């Protein structure tokens, strides 16, 4: 069986390694972090994803996955190289390609030293802006003296996995996009990644294209989903002003097959490791190329405004100074411990700035609590709780920021230990609204209002 080399043992790399091993491929993971390789070789997986721990453990035990810190150790035995390293993006939207460059330089060294007729293909899976594979990776690889398309293959195949369902997303994809410098490169990738489209009826989900189109598909898709969220959040602001429930509006809109109900949930704004970074990167790359995207600029501006609006919903009803406030939800979405660009990272410092006496925070994920404790725990009044009831007890206000199943459907009873005159702001629209009808606790739901005072004209 063919040996696949996955470079980068992070979120994407480990999940692809597990998926390919489950399909019967031998996978060599290369990661420059020695401790990460040791952990993989012990069958450990640092990422909390359904099914991933077992898949990695079984595959390592069964000899299907092995990790090594050096590409030189595994190059000779592999024919396909999937580049899955991080591409971080700064506040200004500039992508840091240092890891991609370092990987290409390592492969260049191996290509230069290689002899014999084995045709190897390098496929970029990291999210990279248009022009990276042919403009940055290709020249570095060709500095080996070997030519792309002649001596080795070059491809780009973006990933679309979501945190919380990463392995399932890989095993059952909606589509597999393969961009290649030529058909031979595409075929080399298709012969491996095509296993996830097994069965003749699913063959049509493989999209063959060129390198730059593959790169742009990934950004276009994430930018579109982010736009959809900002759009519904904008509508939720109208709903609040006009005395309407945004949930009913979105439900009706979603019934139109051209719109679909997915990614149409109004909330406190999107976060995570992809949407904010990818929209910023596309916007910045567009500006460098001479196009200033008004739409993407607005998508990000609406998102920032929405995070601020969560605090405004509280500030419009109570004076924050001196208050004791509970935050439910630190991760950027449910079922992940990831707090990157999460709403809590904006809201908590804002409450502290506004003079809150205590900010008690909770998240069902231990990882999320740990991350926020490390990064914001020193901000005066911030206290991290592992018990949701202890977090809520005695507070004057509670903000629900993440749609964790543990919070879904909580009724007024769950908040009964709050101080007299307390207020709950449900920014995820998940609490049991009806139960608050007879409760002394005021419930404010983002995207809803009963104020019908607005009159046009």
The minimum distance between CB 330 and ligand UDX, in angstroms, equals 12
Residue 356 CB, shortest distance to ligand UDX, in Å, is 23
- Looking at the Cβ atoms of 284 and 306, the one nearer to ligand UDX is 306
Tell me which of 11, 275, 404, 415 binds ligand UDX, using CB under 6 A. 275
Give the residue with the Cβ less far from ligand UDX, 81 or 270. 270
Distance (Å, whole) CA 268 – CA 345? 12
Q: Look at residues 304, 253, 261, 260 and name the one whose alpha carbon lies nearest to residue 280.
A: 304
Print burial letters for 356-395: b (CB count within 10 Å at least 16), e (below 16): bebbbbbbbbebbbbbbeeebeeeebbebbeebeebbbeb
Q: Is 391 a catalytic residue?
A: no
In the complex with ligand UDX, which residue's Cβ is closer, 138 or 342?
A: 342
Our CB check for ligand UDX shows the closer of 222 and 324 to be 222
CB of 266 to ligand UDX, least distance (A): 7
How many CB atoms sit inside 10 A of residue 161's CB? 19
Binding mask 223-242 for ligand UDX (x = CB under 6 A): --x---x-------------
263 binds ligand UDX (CB under 6 A): yes
Restricted to residues 306-335, the positions that interact with ligand UDX (CB under 6 A) are: 332-333
Interaction between residue 196 and ligand UDX (CB under 6 A): no
Crossing angle (nearest 10°) for helices 344-353 and 366-376: 40
Closest approach, Cβ 274 to ligand UDX, in A, equals 3
Residue 365 to residue 62: CA distance in whole angstroms: 31
Q: Closest CB to ligand UDX among 106 and 268? A: 268
- Residue (37 or 274) nearer to ligand UDX, CB: 274
226-345-15-299 Cα dihedral, nearest 10 degrees: 10
How many whole angstroms separate alpha carbon 362 and alpha carbon 384?
6
- Choose, by CB under 6 A, the member of 270, 404, 407, 415 that binds ligand UDX: 270
Q: Nearest Cα to 3, choosing from 57, 68, 99, 49?
A: 68
The footprint of ligand UDX on residues 9-38 (CB under 6 A) is none
Q: Which range binds ligand UDX by CB under 6 A, 70-78, 117-125, 264-272, 360-368?
A: 264-272
If one counts every other C-beta atom within 10 angstroms of the C-beta of residue 262, the result is 9
State the nearest-atom distance from the C-beta of 265 to ligand UDX, in Å: 3
In b/e form, how buried is each residue of 6-40, taking b as 16+ CB within 10 angstroms? bbbbbbbbbbbbbbbbbbebbbbbbbbeeebbebb
Residues numbered 136 to 195 that lie near ligand UDX (CB under 6 A) are 159-163
Residue 51 CA to residue 49 CA, distance in Å, equals 6
- Residue ranges that bind ligand UDX, judged by CB under 6 A: 159-163, 222, 225, 229, 263-265, 267, 270-272, 274-275, 332-333
The residues annotated as belonging to the active site are 274
């Amino acid at each position: 069986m063919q040996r696949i080399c996955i470079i980068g043992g992070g979120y994407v790399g480990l999940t692809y390694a597990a998926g390919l091993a489950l399909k019967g491929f031998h996978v060599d993971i290369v990661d420059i972090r020695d401790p990460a390789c040791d952990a993989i070789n012990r069958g450990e997986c640092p990422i909390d994803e359904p099914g991933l721990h077992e898949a990695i453990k079984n595959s390592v035990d069964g000899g299907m996955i092995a990790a090594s810190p050096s590409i030189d150790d595994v190059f000779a035995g592999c024919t396909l190289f999937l580049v899955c390293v991080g591409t971080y993006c700064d506040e200004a939207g500039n992508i840091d390609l240092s890891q991609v460059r370092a990987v290409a330089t390592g492969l260049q060294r191996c290509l230069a030293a290689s002899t014999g007729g084995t045709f190897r293909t390098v496929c970029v899976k990291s999210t990279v802006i248009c022009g990276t594979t042919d403009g940055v990776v290709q020249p570095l690889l060709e500095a080996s003296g070997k030519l792309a398309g002649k001596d080795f293959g070059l491809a780009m195949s973006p990933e679309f996995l979501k945190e919380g369902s990463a392995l399932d997303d890989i095993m059952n994809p909606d589509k597999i996009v393969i961009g290649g410098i030529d058909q031979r490169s595409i075929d080399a990738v298709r012969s491996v990644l095509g296993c996830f489209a097994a069965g003749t009826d699913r063959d049509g989900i493989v999209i063959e294209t060129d390198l730059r189109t593959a790169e742009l598909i990934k950004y276009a898709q994430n930018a579109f989903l982010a736009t959809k969220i900002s759009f519904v959040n904008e509508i939720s602001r109208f709903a609040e002003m006009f005395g309407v429930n945004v949930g009913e509006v979105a439900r009706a809109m979603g019934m139109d097959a051209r719109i679909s109900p997915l990614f149409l949930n109004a909330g406190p704004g999107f976060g995570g490791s992809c949407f904010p970074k990818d929209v910023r990167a596309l916007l910045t790359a567009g500006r460098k190329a001479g196009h200033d995207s008004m739409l993407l600029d607005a998508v990000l501006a609406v998102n920032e405004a929405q995070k601020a609006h969560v605090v405004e919903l509280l500030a419009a009803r109570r004076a924050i100074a001196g208050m004791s406030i509970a935050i439910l939800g630190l991760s950027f979405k449910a079922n992940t411990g990831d707090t990157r660009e999460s709403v809590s990272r904006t809201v908590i410092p804002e409450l502290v700035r506004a003079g809150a006496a205590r900010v008690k925070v909770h998240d069902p994920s231990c990882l999320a609590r740990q991350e926020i404790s490390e990064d914001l725990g020193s901000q005066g009044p911030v206290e991290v709780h592992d018990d949701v009831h202890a977090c809520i007890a005695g507070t004057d206000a509670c903000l629900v920021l993440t749609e964790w199943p543990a919070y879904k459907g909580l009724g007024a009873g769950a908040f009964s230990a709050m101080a007299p005159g307390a207020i709950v702001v449900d920014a995820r629209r998940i609490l049991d609204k009806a139960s608050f009808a007879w409760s002394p606790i005021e419930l404010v739901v983002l995207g809803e209002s009963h104020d019908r005072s607005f009159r046009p004209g």
